[in-house]
Amino acid sequence: MTELSSLNAIFDRRFSCRGFLNTPVERSVIAQIIQTAQKVPSWCNSQPWQVHLLSPQKRDDLSARLMDAALAGQETPDIAFPQRYSGAYKHRRSVCGWQLYDAVGVEKGDRDGSRRQMLENYRFFGAPHVAVISTPRELGPYGVLDCGAFVTAFTLAATAAGVATIPQAAIAGMSPIVRKVINLADDRDVLCAISFGYVDTDHPANQFRTNRADLDEVLIDVD
């Protein structure tokens, strides 16, 4: 097995988990996942990410507050959400959305069902652990870029450790609440959460895998 095929095996096992077991992950394993993810490159080695890891009590407190805000329809992210997805982006978004709905049995036009699935975000899909990832505002989009690399590496390191993950921008939409619960410094922006734990392999939401674009949609040779 070449190193690339070993790496691919980890990439192929990773997926966004939307149904977790209660079983907590040992603290030493969480520390190893974070330390592995810290190995990603960042501009001038600034390593701008911070990880706020919630205790079970804080997780439940945040969940209750987010659920109330979601039901009230509030949305105020620190970093603006995309205004629209068009063309291929719109198509890919729709495909993965329908994969999820099909898996959990939400049919076209079932607004209650799609809303119920959306609200699962604020239960963190039953994950025992929630980490909030933040970026220093002064580093702007390049800080966000570096933190994105960290988020990806976190998910892959976790996969290698047998731990399932899901990055969640949904919680960044409720930034004022998140900031308050984790007591985030004024000079940082909430990027996303990563909910993680052990996969519930029987959960309907975990029964599909997303696809990827063909190479010719991504690779542009410049002659």
Where does this chain bind ligand FMN (CB under 6 A)?
15-16, 96, 121, 166-170, 192, 210
Nearest to 175 by CA among 74, 85, 83: 74
For ligand FMN, the closer of residues 27 and 85 by Cβ is: 85
Which residue in the shown chain puts its C-beta closest to ligand FMN?
170
Amino acid residing at 56: P
User: At closest approach, how far in Å is the CB of 221 from ligand FMN?
Assistant: 26
* Whole-number Å distance between alpha carbons of 118 and 120: 5
For ligand FMN, the closer of residues 34 and 191 by Cβ is: 191
User: At closest approach, how far in Å is the CB of 15 from ligand FMN?
Assistant: 4
Helices within the chain (DSSP H only): 3-13, 27-37, 56-71, 87-104, 111-119, 140-160, 175-182
For ligand FMN, the closer of residues 15 and 198 by Cβ is: 15
Non-local CB neighbours of 8 within 8 Å, separated by 6+ positions: none
Non-local CB neighbours of 125 within 8 Å, separated by 6+ positions: 17, 18, 19, 20, 166, 195, 205
* Whole-number Å distance between alpha carbons of 189 and 185: 9
Non-local CB neighbours of 214 within 8 Å, separated by 6+ positions: none
User: At closest approach, how far in Å is the CB of 1 from ligand FMN?
Assistant: 23
For ligand FMN, the closer of residues 26 and 81 by Cβ is: 81
For ligand FMN, the closer of residues 92 and 137 by Cβ is: 92
User: At closest approach, how far in Å is the CB of 207 from ligand FMN?
Assistant: 12
- The H or E element containing residue 52 is strand 50-53
User: At closest approach, how far in Å is the CB of 112 from ligand FMN?
Assistant: 18
For ligand FMN, the closer of residues 159 and 184 by Cβ is: 159
User: At closest approach, how far in Å is the CB of 165 from ligand FMN?
Assistant: 9
